[in-house]
Amino acid sequence: MSLGGRKVSWWVSAVAVAIGSYYAFSFVQKASMLVGVGSEYENVNTSSCRKVGQGVLHGCEDIVHWLLPDMEYDLANEVEKDHIYIMDEKDQYSELKAMERTADGALVPFSQDFRVHGFDIYWDPVDPEDMTFMFVNHQLDHNAISIFSHRRGSDYLEHMETVKSPLLHSPNNIVAMSKRAFYATNDMMFIRGALREITNNLGMALSHVVYRDDDGEFRVAAKNIRYANGIARHGEFIYVASCMDPGVQIYTIGDDHMLPTGHVYATGFLRVLEVGKFFHDPTVGLMMPTATIAAIQRRNSIERMLVGCVVCDAVVACDSAH
């Protein structure tokens, strides 16, 4: 009886070791690919690149053509809100002021917390001068989406509504579908505590994309994503970047606005293990130590790319001929 028990125990241990070894190997293999171990990279067509807005457009975490949010996170000593800048093709930039209406109709500075992350713009299909800005806003008491209207040529954004929901627990980026509807990524399931550290370190596929319709109702549109980060739209396709997977997931927009899985430019950390030193000192002798966002504009014979990152003190503009 004792011998049989030892045999069963040995087989259980062997199976446990085999399963553990398989998952350990898979984890190491995926982690090595994720951090770029053994990968080679080269600069391509960077001779025309230059810094724009140094010291002003720093910590830029999202770009839509020429519209840049200025990110500064120092919550303990915060004296200013984040800022929105518009930049023309001559690299001249100016601020768009966030405003709101009082009960008697007066236009005054936006009174809510304004800590911008991702954002997007919806252009009215009938009136091209009418634009709707949607910002992921990490307010102190909750995460939200702040929606503003803007008339092209004016120097301010007028607040329309700030949206919050239990399904917006950790929003990262957003795609505007109408003046009220949008898709947004939630980059993690748990926003604080030990479970956040455990699930993030294990790269568990617990984040998702939510959809808010024109009636203000929320639902999960796509799930089982590893740290859903950036999101973009082109036609009927939605592109979602994952920080924990070296790729971009492509979805088609269903009739119910769900996202069944269905030449992409992507920015990221090419040498992940070196990123920490740039968070400590963003001035380490490079034009741009890393990249987290980019936007491309094609006009006539010139293609321009704008690149920004969370630890940079400027954006980089690169021009090239088609």
Q: Which two tokens stand for residue 10?
A: 């040995």
Distance of CA 322 to the CA centre of its chain: 28
Does residue 283 contact residue 277 with C-beta atoms inside 8 Å? no
Report the first-to-last Cα separation within the chain, whole angstroms: 79
Burial class (CB in 10 A: 0-12, 13-18, 19+), 24: exposed
Q: Is 43 annotated as a binding residue?
A: no
Q: Is 173 annotated as a binding residue?
A: yes
Active site residue 150: no
DSSP string covering 17-58? HHHHHHHHHHHHHHHHHHHTTT------S-TT-EEESTTTS-
Geometric angle at alpha carbon 252, from 249 and 257, rounded to 5°: 115
Burial class (CB in 10 A: 0-12, 13-18, 19+), 211: buried
pLDDT confidence of residue 75? 43
pLDDT confidence of residue 279? 47
pLDDT confidence of residue 196? 72
Q: Is 172 annotated as a binding residue?
A: yes
- As a dihedral over the C-alpha atoms of residue 280, residue 281, residue 285, residue 288, rounded to 10 degrees, the angle is 70
Distance of CA 311 to the CA centre of its chain: 14
Count CA within 13 A, CB hemisphere, residue 114: 25
pLDDT confidence of residue 311? 61
pLDDT confidence of residue 315? 76
Does residue 319 contact residue 302 with C-beta atoms inside 8 Å? yes
Burial class (CB in 10 A: 0-12, 13-18, 19+), 82: buried
Which of 83, 117, 159, 208 is labelled catalytic?
Answer: 117
Does residue 137 contact residue 115 with C-beta atoms inside 8 Å? yes
Q: Which two tokens stand for residue 236?
A: 């009927």
Question: What are φ and ψ of residue 314, in 5° steps?
Answer: -165, 175
Extract the residue ranges of the chain whose pLDDT is less than 50. Answer: 1-2, 65-77, 79, 263-265, 278-285
Q: Which two tokens stand for residue 242?
A: 């994952």
- Selection from 37, 24, 21, 39 nearest residue 202 by Cα: 24
- Selection from 137, 110, 119, 108 nearest residue 69 by Cα: 119
Task: Give the Cα separation of 229 and 316 in Å (integer).
Answer: 21
Give me the amino acid identity at 192: R
pLDDT confidence of residue 246? 66
Does residue 134 contact residue 122 with C-beta atoms inside 8 Å? yes
